[in-house]
Structure formats: structure tokens, C-alpha cells
Amino acid sequence: MEIKLGVADLSAVDTDALVLIESEAGLRPDLAGPLAALYDSGEIKGKALELTLVHGVAGFEARRILVVGAGKPEKFDAALVRKMAAAAVRLLKGKGVKSAVFALEGERATAANVSAAAVGLITGAWEPDVHKTENKETDKAIDVFTVAGAVSEFSAALAYGVVIGEAINLSRDIAVEPPNLLTPTTMANRARAMAAVNGLPCEVLDRDRMAQLGMGALLGVAQGSAEPPAFIVMQYKPEKPSSDTHLALIGKGVTFDTGGISIKPSEGMEKMKYDMAGGASVIGTMQAIARLKPGIAVTGIVPAVENMPGGRAQRPGDIVTSLSGKTIEILNTDAEGRLILADAITYAKNLGCTHLVDAATLTGAIVVALGYTSSGVFASDDAFLAQWMEASKVSGEKMWHMPLDDEYREQLKTVYADIQNIGGRWGGACSAAMFLKEFSGDTPWIHVDIAGTAWLDDAKPFLAKGPTGVPLGTFVNLAMNWK
């Protein structure tokens, strides 16, 4: 789909569909007459993401008018624009529409809203049906979508949004793959291909190299699988750095998680193909970073493994030595994500990274705490946290700051090793984050638990079922607006 700027006179534009925004504050003057009956009957109320498609509206050349509700004016923001644009493309692409116009008029015509509209149009068009052989929703494409009411000064904003949208869809393309096709090796190859196209150095450490370095925590998880692990490192260095900051973005890459010897229940286990969603988001982020070129160095790290039971699998009671030198007692082999992240965090520190962020589908406990609306955020540094939360607000990815008090460390004490890999029943997301903090040390660090936000079990009006790409938007905004 081509996305461009243009169109001065909305009433005269010749297009298959014109998307107009209506809030709850009152009627649009240009629609109040020809659509009076729909307003009077309450069919059009202007509620957020309400969609009303009308054919042949008097006074407009467009063959269809799609009225999209914006809700209360005081809640209008770029995050809502993104959802409105995505909802519009998802509705219209199934109607035989090949050209459409999304109108941002008056005070709504801002750079932030133009970027958000571009992101929404691209992500809204994405479908998870790559492996279908017929009746594919992907085939119902819109050729050209024009963002109207925005002048040429917003061309950079539009291009920015396109980069973000394409990066999110790349991460979703990777995350939606079935585990028989997306092994750690395949994931590494996807990262290599992305890096080659975008001019990024990409190194993949194999099992032997990881063993030489001493990544015992990661290798303990991987040892039960016939599929070898892969440790993916993608690096971006600016030509003219704006600071000495070196940001590490670390994504959990468990391409399938059975739980290992501590095996999961069979119901819903197929969703564990998404246990690499954090890693997929990092790969997509590095594509966007390569194209947008922030002023700080950024390294993307994805420890990729498969967690399987078997004759060589890690056992509850095992003790492993991590890359940091700390020993870990394994009480539950299904608490594997924190093990591979521990070695990845240490590796990032050894590279000289000054700030660390990891994203992982880490715990079911975060879903109990926050549901499927917000990602849980844990941080060791208040200033770093403030930057992260601001970046998440700009991107429209909901985050909630979670506690990381010293008392959670008490749950991880063991007489047999330096630390054990699980705490007690209560506060599981917090004790898991505290485990990771043990390896970040004094380096400013943020952990984002995306177990409730990395994928959708059911489609939304603005997003298909499947992976969401979270927290790619926040990753990119953090790097691009570093303070």
C-alpha cells in the first residue's frame, strides 16, 4: 500500500472512500445535512472507534464516506489517530476499496498525528494468514491511502510513521511464524537478512562460542532441544554521536517454550510460539533504528533458544554458572526466560552498554496483575524510567510502573547457589524482575514484561489477531528522543 500526503478539497476528491473524523462534541457541518437521519437516529454518535460506512453522500465526489468516531475531544491524541486509521483500513480493505483518503483537518493536522496515521494504516493492513493457501485476508489490499488535510511540511513525519509501521509488521511477521519453521537458527537468519538490507553489522554466536564465554544459564535452557541456540547481536553506531550513551535493547527469544521438565499444561501451549515476541520486536526495532539514524549507539541482542524436555534437558535442582560468574539453582525449568536474559544482560554490560532495556513475555503473574491492557515496567533508575514512560506515551503503548523493592530479593535466596530462579507464589512478576536486576548491577536498567500485551487472542477493530509488535514503538521513541 502506498501512503502519501495530499488533497485540498475533501468534497471534490475522487476516491473509493473518504474517512472523516467525528467527535462526540457535535455534528460536522459538512455531514449534518446529508447524514442528518443517521445522526438523529443515534447511528452516528462520535464514540471512539465507532465506524459508519455510507455510500453516495450528497456533496461529496467520494463513492463512500466512512465516519470514524473520535470520542471526547479532550481525549483525542496521536495514539487514537493510529487506532482510527488502522480501524479504517481494516474495514475498507474488505469492501473492494483500492483508493482511500484519511482526513486530518484543522488542529488535527499535526506532525504527530500524521506519523500516527501512517503507522495505523500500515499495521491495520497486516494479517496473520501467511500460511493460508486460499481465502487470504492479505489479498484484500488497498493500493493507495492518502493522508489529507496535512501539508507538505509533514512529509518527514509521514516517512517516520511509515518506517515505524513497517518495522512493527516485520516483528509481527517473525513472531507469527510457527515453531517448526521459526527455530533459533531461522530467527538468526531473519536478523541477518534484515541487517544486510539495512547496513547493520550482525553477529550470531553459536553454541561453542557461548560455551567458551561461559553462558551457562542460557545453555542450560537450550540443552534439552535438538535445535541449537543462537545469540544474535545487531549493532548501530551513529556517524556523529550526540552523546556517549550506548543503549542495549534485549529481547527474549524462546522460539517455543514447553516449560521443559517442568512442563506446561497442554491447553494453550500452542501460544508459546509467541515466547520470542520480545526478540522479534528487537529485530524490528533495529530495522527502524538503521533507517531513522538516532544520535546514540544502539545494540540489539536476542538470545534465541528452544525450551524442550528430553534426555539431556535441564532438571529442577540443577545449578548453572552464568556469564556473570553467579551460580543459579534451577527450581523450575519453566522460568527459563530470565536465565537467557541474565546472560544477555551481562553480555551487553561487557560490550560497554551504558543503559539496558529488556523486553520479555516473562511471567503469567504480570497478566494477573495488569490484564491484557498494559505492559509491566520495572526499573533500577528513576531518570531512565521517566524517559521510558514518556517514550511509551508518545508511542501509544500502555505501560505501568511496577514495584522492585528489596524484599522481593528475599524470595530468591538459596543455600545451594548465589540465587535461585523463582520466588514464591505471590508477586511472581516482581521476583522475576528482581532476579534480572541481580545481573544488571549498577547499570541503569529497565525490564518490560509483555506477557499480556505481546499478542492478541482475538482481533480488535484496529489490529488483527496475533502478535502486536509491543514494545517496538517505545524502543524507537526512546532512542530517537534520548535526553
How many Å apart are CA 336 and CA 340, to the nearest integer? 7
Predicted confidence at residue 239, as pLDDT, reads 95
Alpha-carbon torsion (321, 327, 331, 335), positive or negative: negative
Catalytic residues: 264, 338
409-433, pLDDT tens digit by residue?
999 999 999 999 999 889 999 999 9
> How many residues are recorded in the chain?
483
For residue 341, give the nearest of 302, 384, 291, 306 by alpha carbon. Answer: 302
* Domain architecture of the chain: domains with CATH: 2-133+141-150 (3.40.220.10), 165-480 (3.40.630.10)
How many Å apart are CA 42 and CA 46, to the nearest integer? 9
How many Å apart are CA 423 and CA 415, to the nearest integer? 14
Q: Are 244 and 353 in contact (CB under 8 A)?
A: no
Q: Which three cell numbers stand for residue 20?
A: 472523516
- What's the predicted TM-score (pTM) here? 0.97
Predicted confidence at residue 7, as pLDDT, reads 85
Predicted confidence at residue 374, as pLDDT, reads 98
Residues of the chain predicted below pLDDT 70: none
How many Å apart are CA 48 and CA 341, to the nearest integer? 39
